[in-house]
């Protein structure tokens, strides 16, 4: 894979998202890495940047992937999460775990969703008798609350309808915000 060169002192950011489940996940992730590189960010991602675990046993392999991703996140100063709803009313569980993990570590948190609707609008589609939180947020309040507490940015916008999982438009808007923020922070620290 040919990726643009990035200065080795560029900020490392982890890209969390359910695009790892696309049949062409590596190509989609490589395009996102290239977008970040043009913005002066070193994006690291599962599958490409975490070493492939050799374990044959499925559970050992799963835990090795988890450990690899946790180590990658620990190596970064910020995380960009794709919080587009996935297999239910909320974002992908792995992505949400990684967002919380990054918050616990004190990383910068940035996120986007390709579905700008409120959480309540989606949850109401399948009533279950339990309360539906309705604060005008895109998902459970812990997610956007954590992003806000970390001083981050959350972009809610529609992706191109014909292929929302592969349209990089909303991601790029978010990555530009990350680039601007981190450049300001680095300038301020000098």
Distance CA 139, CA 89 (A): 8
User: Is there binding between residue 69 and a copy of itself (CB under 8 A)?
Assistant: yes
User: Is there binding between residue 128 and a copy of itself (CB under 8 A)?
Assistant: yes
Please identify, using beta-carbon distances, which residue of 6 and 96 lies nearer to a copy of itself: 96
Among 3, 37, 100, 158, binds a copy of itself (CB under 8 A): 100
C-alpha 10 chain-centroid distance? 19
Please identify, using beta-carbon distances, which residue of 16 and 170 lies nearer to a copy of itself: 16
Looking at residue 158, the DSSP 8-state letter turns out to be P
The β-bridge partners of 85 are 91
Distance CA 117, CA 22 (A): 23
- Point out which span in 6-14, 37-45, 144-152, 171-179 binds a copy of itself (CB under 8 A): 144-152
Looking at residue 21, the DSSP 8-state letter turns out to be G
CB of 158 to a copy of itself, least distance (A): 19
The encoded tokens of residue 47 equal 């599958």
User: Is there binding between residue 115 and a copy of itself (CB under 8 A)?
Assistant: no
């Amino acid at each position: 894979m040919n990726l643009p060169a990035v200065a080795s002192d560029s900020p490392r950011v982890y890209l969390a998202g359910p695009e790892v489940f696309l049949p062409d996940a590596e190509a989609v992730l490589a395009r996102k890495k290239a977008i970040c590189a043009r913005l002066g960010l070193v994006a690291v991602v599962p599958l490409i940047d975490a070493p492939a675990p050799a374990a044959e046993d499925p559970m050992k392999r799963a835990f090795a992937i988890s450990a690899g991703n946790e180590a990658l996140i620990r190596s970064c100063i910020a995380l960009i999460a794709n919080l587009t709803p996935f297999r239910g009313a909320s974002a992908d569980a792995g992505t949400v775990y990684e967002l919380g993990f990054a918050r616990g570590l004190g990383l910068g948190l940035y996120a986007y969703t390709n579905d700008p609707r409120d959480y309540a609008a989606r949850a109401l589609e399948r009533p279950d008798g339990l309360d539906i939180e309705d604060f005008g947020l895109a998902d459970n309040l812990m997610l956007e609350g954590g992003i806000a507490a970390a001083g981050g940015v959350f972009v809610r916008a529609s992706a191109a309808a014909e292929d929302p999982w592969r349209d990089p438009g909303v991601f790029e808007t978010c990555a530009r915000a990350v680039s601007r923020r981190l450049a300001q922070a680095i300038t301020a620290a000098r």
